[in-house]
A and B are shown apart, each in its own frame.
Chain A
């Protein structure tokens, strides 16, 4: 207490407060705080960077670049469309407004209109997407409190054609699937949004698709699904040297202008987002491997007299020949036993190494975000290798199968497929040599031979003169965890013209039914193969492949012509 009195005496104030001089400190402290806050507020307000001036992002639809096919045909574009709104607070005479509006747009319900226009709001939508004629008429009526807002809408003028490749957008024009999603991820949207909406300065995205080929493929697959009463079907046409996707279809499909259906599982993109046991492709891969590693030659022979017994499993042939087959015969008869023995000759490790080399162990990624990973055997036992040699227990994307087949036929260069237009020269930078060019030549021979005398005969028969080569596959589908004899997935993979391969065609049918015309058969040779043949017959002229007939074909052609004249 004494101390305090002393301090009081020192401060010269008779209050008895030791620290009253410290009030000055408090005052100065507060003054500094207020000055600091003012300074900071000034810094924020006056020195703000210009770009940060948006506090809330407005939900305007984003302008998107157009999408065109490889020849410049428009596949997707933005169009501007007016939408009708009203400010009910500014409407003077609600009855009159309703009368005028319904006179021009009879589809507007006057009761709904009345409810909307009497609301205590500053903004209500009356009709989204009004036609230009209606817009003009309503504009000319001059109703106070009624106006238009321009919105852009994404439109796909080709409708369902190439829907899976293009994908679709949501109401705010954000890409949700396919190339549209890819554009979003690539920032093309950002680029386009920088361009003024009036002048379409943003360059269109050019795809590898050829819409004419797309149409031919789609219509043939659709026909096949109908004729063979299949559940679904899919097809791909690849440029063999650049791996550009010229056409890709998966039916049933959807209309990107109204993408609500797109979510149905049945409408998924079977070419990239589903994986299948593509016996046709995988057998060809086994052949290429065995020939390339020197495990066998075209003169090699394989014993197919007895089923191959591995542990408790017996491997049979579908068309059992019960004899010793040469390598081309194994290919022609699609012998499981022969193919399995071929894989065993290469060895388990060699087999896996080769499958990995051709990329079948990895998920194939293209521009399209929907991409499924392959389904592989959990353990590579001897049995797994043997069955994988002819495609059992080993499922990949059909597009992956097409790309691998392209590499077997094009001289051995594995190229990642693309949906964007690509020059042949750019491919050299990343093409991967997976088999020797000589092996590729042998594969072309086998493919062509198979179309002349083997299971793919009907493809060549439908596309006379186009030197078709191909391999077929009939996989039994797994129903409730077992392979079912009556649920098949048939496929054809091939190329044309085989003397200088340019295009790969893949056709796949899900559960085609046996018909009287196919003599009760429902294997690939009776449905997928002739479908592929018709596809080739339609697209070859479009793609500029000239027909050249050999003696046999000339004879058949003459016969067909005379038949035509007979009618």
Chain B
């Protein structure tokens, strides 16, 4: 079937307006994630007594819905993006509250809702929808100075972080705070307040170090490896050393046989060992391409909503990837953070796909809106 440029149908306009490069890069990343899972997850599954391909099959299974969510979201118009995000935000917060009461306790936290075959982590879905909803409120605040948009956005942020802290999930709370900080920065927060917030964040970090033993122990272990168990990070470092430029070859690595999180937080190390620095560089390149391209789109976007939403979404993906990989190569203290599109985890993968779907939707040239004197007017064609 030939799609004509003159065709004004839904599919045809999508076909000619979607960012193909970005879409291709993300699909490549997801395919790579499935492939790496095949390498990294069987020993982990075998170790905990599951079928060898347990994690692989599930990753493959989640990849389908993830691609569908991605594509479906990319068809949305900006208005629908806003509405669906706000809806997803409200629903997600509701599910997070539900998880506190009915969710299974896993490692001392209540973050999940048991859906039978898998556990749903609602906070993952809230992440991109929060960014879009907050961006909308902020943009409305700019457009109509009588609306307290900025404060409502602050309210959303406060609510989300409070829910994350209740679970507790300090890692995500910290991540979302950083994303929020970037959004505020771009929104135009004066540098004085930015520095004030930076000081506040530093104080928060110090407080976390003081009051949460596990945070303190992780930092101590990073600064002084002699002090305690740095098993995962040490093994990850040795995996890179073992891998060299081209790796030991798929399946020939040994770090995955002893790394508890080889399929999730430490998959980057497994890639480094089995596929070598070359694959790592390609992987970093792909992720960097995705993040920087979205940020470039944000730079070029004309209305505040697009700028803020794109920038926030890019920051979620970028920060998660940067923190995860930095932990893997032992640049920062250990922090549980998944590698977007690559690590095992259904909620995370669907959330990331949703985020990219939103990016694609916001970025479609035909779907952009231009400000006019009377408000927002959709631009029919670029």
**Shortest beta-carbon distance from B362 to chain A in Å:** 14
Partner of A37, one of B189, B237, B242, B325: B325
CA distance A429 to B243 in the complex (A): 54
Chain B residues with Cβ below 8 Å from A33 are: 318, 322, 326
Taking a contact as CB atoms under 8 Å apart, the answer to whether A30 and B322 are in contact is yes
Given A16-B304, A22-B185, CB of A30 within 8 Å of CB of B295: yes
Partner of B255, one of A17, A25, A44, A55: A55
Stretch at the interface among B5-13, B110-118, B126-134, B285-293: B285-293
List the B residue with the shortest CB-CB distance to A49: B241
Given A41-B281, A52-B241, CB of A30 within 8 Å of CB of B304: no
**Shortest beta-carbon distance from A39 to chain B in Å:** 9
Chain A residues with Cβ below 8 Å from B302 are: 13-15
CB under 8 Å from chain B, chain A span 15-32: 15-20, 22-27, 30-31
Taking a contact as CB atoms under 8 Å apart, the answer to whether A23 and B311 are in contact is yes
B244 at interface (Cβ–Cβ under 8 A)?
Answer: yes
Interface string of B77-104 (1 = CB under 8 A from A): 0000000000000000000000000000
Chain B residues with Cβ below 8 Å from A48 are: 240-242, 244
Taking a contact as CB atoms under 8 Å apart, the answer to whether A56 and B188 are in contact is no
Taking a contact as CB atoms under 8 Å apart, the answer to whether A23 and B255 are in contact is no
CA distance A560 to B3 in the complex (A): 124
B239 at interface (Cβ–Cβ under 8 A)?
Answer: yes
A36 at interface (Cβ–Cβ under 8 A)?
Answer: yes
Taking a contact as CB atoms under 8 Å apart, the answer to whether A55 and B307 are in contact is no
CA distance A283 to B245 in the complex (A): 75
Taking a contact as CB atoms under 8 Å apart, the answer to whether A34 and B241 are in contact is no
Taking a contact as CB atoms under 8 Å apart, the answer to whether A34 and B287 are in contact is yes
Taking a contact as CB atoms under 8 Å apart, the answer to whether A41 and B185 are in contact is no
Taking a contact as CB atoms under 8 Å apart, the answer to whether A31 and B288 are in contact is yes
CA distance A23 to B235 in the complex (A): 37
Chain B residues with Cβ below 8 Å from A20 are: 186, 188, 299, 307
A200 at interface (Cβ–Cβ under 8 A)?
Answer: no
Interface string of B277-314 (1 = CB under 8 A from A): 10011001001100110011011011110011001001
CA distance A93 to B284 in the complex (A): 48
A53 at interface (Cβ–Cβ under 8 A)?
Answer: yes
Interface string of B333-358 (1 = CB under 8 A from A): 00000000000000000000000000
Taking a contact as CB atoms under 8 Å apart, the answer to whether B188 and A7 are in contact is yes
A45 at interface (Cβ–Cβ under 8 A)?
Answer: yes
Given A23-B186, A55-B255, A55-B258, CB of A40 within 8 Å of CB of B331: yes
CA distance A144 to B368 in the complex (A): 67
Taking a contact as CB atoms under 8 Å apart, the answer to whether A45 and B299 are in contact is no
Taking a contact as CB atoms under 8 Å apart, the answer to whether B329 and A37 are in contact is yes
Chain B residues with Cβ below 8 Å from A27 are: 292, 295-296, 299
Taking a contact as CB atoms under 8 Å apart, the answer to whether A37 and B326 are in contact is yes
B121 at interface (Cβ–Cβ under 8 A)?
Answer: no
Chain A residues with Cβ below 8 Å from B298 are: 23
Interface of B is mostly: helix
Taking a contact as CB atoms under 8 Å apart, the answer to whether B244 and A19 are in contact is no
Taking a contact as CB atoms under 8 Å apart, the answer to whether A38 and B273 are in contact is no
CA distance A46 to B325 in the complex (A): 17
List the B residue with the shortest CB-CB distance to A51: B241
Chain B residues with Cβ below 8 Å from A14 are: 302, 371
CA distance A223 to B245 in the complex (A): 70
CA distance A30 to B326 in the complex (A): 12
Given A44-B237, A45-B243, A55-B254, CB of A17 within 8 Å of CB of B307: yes
B182 at interface (Cβ–Cβ under 8 A)?
Answer: yes
CB under 8 Å from chain B, chain A span 206-252: none
Give the size category of B's interface with A.
Answer: 35 or more
Taking a contact as CB atoms under 8 Å apart, the answer to whether A23 and B329 are in contact is no
**Shortest beta-carbon distance from B382 to chain A in Å:** 17
A42 at interface (Cβ–Cβ under 8 A)?
Answer: yes
Taking a contact as CB atoms under 8 Å apart, the answer to whether A55 and B185 are in contact is no
Chain B residues with Cβ below 8 Å from A1 are: 145
A4 at interface (Cβ–Cβ under 8 A)?
Answer: yes
CA distance A13 to B370 in the complex (A): 12
**Shortest beta-carbon distance from A154 to chain B in Å:** 28
Chain A residues with Cβ below 8 Å from B27 are: none
CB under 8 Å from chain A, chain B span 124-160: 142-143, 145
Partner of A17, one of B188, B235, B280: B188
**Shortest beta-carbon distance from A16 to chain B in Å:** 4
CB under 8 Å from chain B, chain A span 354-383: none
CB under 8 Å from chain B, chain A span 150-178: none
Chain B residues with Cβ below 8 Å from A44 are: 237, 240-241, 272, 329-330
CA distance A36 to B323 in the complex (A): 12
CA distance A36 to B326 in the complex (A): 9
CA distance A100 to B371 in the complex (A): 86
CA distance A22 to B322 in the complex (A): 20
Chain A residues with Cβ below 8 Å from B142 are: 4, 15-17
Chain B residues with Cβ below 8 Å from A13 are: 302
Chain A residues with Cβ below 8 Å from B307 are: 15, 17, 20, 23
CA distance A27 to B239 in the complex (A): 30
Partner of B284, one of A23, A26, A37: A37
Given A37-B331, A53-B241, CB of A30 within 8 Å of CB of B186: no
Interface string of B230-268 (1 = CB under 8 A from A): 000001011111111100000001110110000000000
Taking a contact as CB atoms under 8 Å apart, the answer to whether A19 and B188 are in contact is yes
Chain A residues with Cβ below 8 Å from B54 are: none
CA distance A45 to B288 in the complex (A): 20
CA distance A13 to B273 in the complex (A): 47
Chain B residues with Cβ below 8 Å from A54 are: 242
B187 at interface (Cβ–Cβ under 8 A)?
Answer: yes
CA distance A243 to B242 in the complex (A): 51
CA distance A288 to B21 in the complex (A): 98
Chain B residues with Cβ below 8 Å from A30 are: 288, 291-292, 295, 314, 318, 322
Chain A residues with Cβ below 8 Å from B182 are: 26
CA distance A160 to B261 in the complex (A): 49
Partner of B245, one of A7, A18, A25, A46: A46
Taking a contact as CB atoms under 8 Å apart, the answer to whether B241 and A56 are in contact is no
Taking a contact as CB atoms under 8 Å apart, the answer to whether B280 and A45 are in contact is yes
**Shortest beta-carbon distance from B381 to chain A in Å:** 20
Taking a contact as CB atoms under 8 Å apart, the answer to whether B240 and A41 are in contact is yes
Chain B residues with Cβ below 8 Å from A38 are: 280-281, 284
B315 at interface (Cβ–Cβ under 8 A)?
Answer: yes
Taking a contact as CB atoms under 8 Å apart, the answer to whether B322 and A24 are in contact is no
Chain B residues with Cβ below 8 Å from A53 are: 241-242
B276 at interface (Cβ–Cβ under 8 A)?
Answer: yes
Taking a contact as CB atoms under 8 Å apart, the answer to whether A24 and B185 are in contact is no
Taking a contact as CB atoms under 8 Å apart, the answer to whether B280 and A41 are in contact is yes
Taking a contact as CB atoms under 8 Å apart, the answer to whether A23 and B240 are in contact is no
Chain A residues with Cβ below 8 Å from B292 are: 27, 30-31
List the B residue with the shortest CB-CB distance to A1: B145
**Shortest beta-carbon distance from B246 to chain A in Å:** 9
List the A residue with the shortest CB-CB distance to B237: A44
Given A18-B188, A38-B284, A41-B240, CB of A24 within 8 Å of CB of B299: yes
List the B residue with the shortest CB-CB distance to A11: B188
Chain A residues with Cβ below 8 Å from B243 are: 45
Given A17-B186, A22-B185, CB of A55 within 8 Å of CB of B238: yes
**Shortest beta-carbon distance from B373 to chain A in Å:** 11
Taking a contact as CB atoms under 8 Å apart, the answer to whether B296 and A37 are in contact is no
**Shortest beta-carbon distance from B302 to chain A in Å:** 6
List the A residue with the shortest CB-CB distance to B324: A37
Chain A residues with Cβ below 8 Å from B241 are: 44-45, 48-49, 52-53
8 A-B pairs besides A19-B186, A41-B272 with CB distance below 8 A are: A17-B308, A25-B185, A30-B291, A34-B287, A34-B288, A41-B284, A46-B244, A56-B254
Can you pick out 13 interface pairs between chain A and chain B where the beta carbons lie within 8 Å of each other?
A15-B304, A16-B304, A17-B308, A19-B184, A20-B186, A20-B307, A27-B299, A30-B295, A37-B331, A40-B331, A44-B237, A45-B244, A54-B242
Which residues of A approach B to under 8 Å, CB–CB?
Answer: 1, 4, 7, 13-20, 22-27, 30-31, 33-34, 36-38, 40-42, 44-46, 48-49, 52-56
Top 6 closest pairs, chain A to chain B, by CB = A18-B188, A48-B241, A44-B240, A45-B277, A16-B142, A19-B188
